[in-house]
Chain A
């Protein structure tokens, strides 16, 4: 497999046909980049261009280079050589088959027959409420279960040096745990998000506008402090969510809740990215 040091996005055109404001962008191994912008501004298309390693052949006319070179067709298409894992916005599976068979088949496609399907299902079940069973049919899974299974599948079977994540906060799965599962060591990660906690956790973020890459912002030191405070607020909200899900009443002092996990996380900076 090719070692990824850097991918370059050569800007194309926006929805009006004008050249993109960002004419080129290099992303290096180990970097985490947020992609933000209003709905319809082209965030998912940017992810799709990278997944396909577009060569000026998509609607945006962007070109994606790997280590400064045009990638080979096999690198673009063959799942065994693919170096991009993508979690798209899809909330349901269309394949009419059992979870276990689906995972086995996908593992075979990626040349990873030795992977245990039970382990993937176990990982997915850490992210969702009601557990997924190996003989469940894919099409009956809920939005959250589907999403959790997609995350676990991307993390284990599609395990790749480039990880593209489209709105991980969707469908009510545990987003921090999901992100941690997907991140891994030294990967190049791009996250499309509307969630301020997620957006501020990235060191850099691309601002999308009218289908084009408008600017690249670097997180300021002040934003880093805001980000930490926001994580506390977010943890409180997630705590309330779990209480409500489990049929509890909310009391005023639940608002002062600071989870232990957050206290631990201040030493373990892997989640603050």
Chain B
């Protein structure tokens, strides 16, 4: 994580993960610990259609900003609005910016070069899941594993191994979203992260290519109505259109 310019910008922590994995619960416990260590992060929650997580975050008595991506891809939306979030955090004299995104298809990853990328994954989703999770797991700096109390020790260990196969360099932290066990270790890693992000930052991973007809409102199912970069079941990929 090298700094280029504009290092006056705040450390940026981006949390991604599957719906229901426990991102918000993990964050609430972690931020409580950060607060007791006199840290004052600004919190941003990006969701797709609706959210009530702002109510949970508001109880932490820290600046909270909520964004709804609606018709836009939520990961794109969160990246597109990074500057606004930064301004919000600066205005509130926060010492860092923690953003939780609701990723959608998990074909891309919301992490930028200089952020601390945190992926939250539910261990009850089965040992095959880490291999299927995609770049939001394989590009993460920290992988937080939740719900470990619901499976056997053997399954926990296999799950961990599978994460390391997908992302050999990540740091794995087990956190229980219900009682906060493990959150102290995650909070410590948040505190140790000091790199500021910059205007020159890039995403760590590209999004899927092209815009398709469904993106622009097509609802008809038959093949003949579809344009863009299209791929058949047999793996044949071609561009259809002008």
Complex Cα–Cα for A109 and B150 (A): 19
Complex Cα–Cα for A85 and B176 (A): 19
Residue contact A86 to B153, C-beta cutoff 8 Å: yes
Residue contact A153 to B154, C-beta cutoff 8 Å: yes
**A24 interface residue, CB < 8 Å from B?**
no
**B172 interface residue, CB < 8 Å from A?**
yes
**Chain A nearest CB, measured from B178 CB (Å):** 9
**B174 interface residue, CB < 8 Å from A?**
yes
Residue contact B174 to A52, C-beta cutoff 8 Å: yes
Complex Cα–Cα for A96 and B149 (A): 18
**A59 interface residue, CB < 8 Å from B?**
yes
**A204 interface residue, CB < 8 Å from B?**
no
Complex Cα–Cα for A55 and B184 (A): 9
Stretch in contact with the other chain, from A87-95, A175-183, A186-194: A87-95
Residue contact A59 to B154, C-beta cutoff 8 Å: no
For chain A, the bracket of interface size reads: 20 to 34
Residue contact A94 to B160, C-beta cutoff 8 Å: no
Residue of A with least CB distance to B179: A59
Q: In the complex, which residues of chain B have a beta carbon less than 8 angstroms from the beta carbon of A48?
A: 149, 181
**Chain A nearest CB, measured from B32 CB (Å):** 12
Residue contact B154 to A77, C-beta cutoff 8 Å: no
**A174 interface residue, CB < 8 Å from B?**
no
Q: Mark B119-130, 1 if CB is under 8 A from A, else 0.
A: 000001011100
Residue contact A109 to B174, C-beta cutoff 8 Å: no
Q: A94-B124, A153-B154 are in contact. Are A108 and B179 (CB under 8 A)?
A: no
**B185 interface residue, CB < 8 Å from A?**
yes
Q: Mark B150-168, 1 if CB is under 8 A from A, else 0.
A: 1111110110110000000
Complex Cα–Cα for A105 and B157 (A): 9
Complex Cα–Cα for A189 and B180 (A): 27
**Chain B nearest CB, measured from A135 CB (Å):** 17
**B89 interface residue, CB < 8 Å from A?**
no
Q: In the complex, which residues of chain B have a beta carbon less than 8 angstroms from the beta carbon of A86?
A: 153
Complex Cα–Cα for A157 and B155 (A): 12
**Chain B nearest CB, measured from A145 CB (Å):** 13
Residue contact B181 to A59, C-beta cutoff 8 Å: yes
Complex Cα–Cα for A231 and B124 (A): 39
Enumerate B106-153 residues with CB–CB distance to A below 8 Å.
124, 126-128, 149-153
Complex Cα–Cα for A15 and B39 (A): 27
**Chain B nearest CB, measured from A3 CB (Å):** 21
Residue contact A105 to B180, C-beta cutoff 8 Å: no
Residue of B with least CB distance to A82: B157
Q: In the complex, which residues of chain A have a beta carbon less than 8 angstroms from the beta carbon of B158?
A: 95, 102, 105-106, 109
Q: In the complex, which residues of chain B have a beta carbon less than 8 angstroms from the beta carbon of A150?
A: 152, 154
Residue contact A58 to B153, C-beta cutoff 8 Å: no
Residue of A with least CB distance to B127: A95
Q: A57-B185, A95-B126, A108-B161 are in contact. Are A90 and B150 (CB under 8 A)?
A: yes
Residue contact A94 to B179, C-beta cutoff 8 Å: no
Residue of A with least CB distance to B187: A57
Complex Cα–Cα for A233 and B185 (A): 49
Complex Cα–Cα for A82 and B128 (A): 23
**B182 interface residue, CB < 8 Å from A?**
yes
Q: Mark A71-86, 1 if CB is under 8 A from B, else 0.
A: 0010001010010011
**B85 interface residue, CB < 8 Å from A?**
no
Residue contact A110 to B155, C-beta cutoff 8 Å: no
Q: In the complex, which residues of chain A have a beta carbon less than 8 angstroms from the beta carbon of B15?
A: none
Complex Cα–Cα for A85 and B69 (A): 45
**B183 interface residue, CB < 8 Å from A?**
yes
Please name the 8 residue pairs, one residue from A and one from B, whose CB atoms are nearest each other, closest first.
A57-B184, A59-B179, A58-B181, A79-B157, A109-B157, A109-B161, A86-B153, A106-B154
Q: List 26 A-B contacts (CB under 8 A).
A: A48-B181, A54-B181, A56-B184, A57-B181, A57-B183, A58-B179, A58-B180, A85-B153, A88-B153, A90-B150, A90-B151, A94-B126, A95-B155, A95-B158, A96-B126, A96-B128, A97-B127, A102-B158, A105-B158, A106-B157, A106-B158, A108-B161, A109-B157, A153-B152, A154-B154, A158-B153
Q: Beyond the given A73-B185, A88-B153, A110-B157, could you list 4 further A-B residue pairs with CB under 8 A, ordered by the A residue number?
A: A59-B180, A93-B152, A97-B128, A102-B154
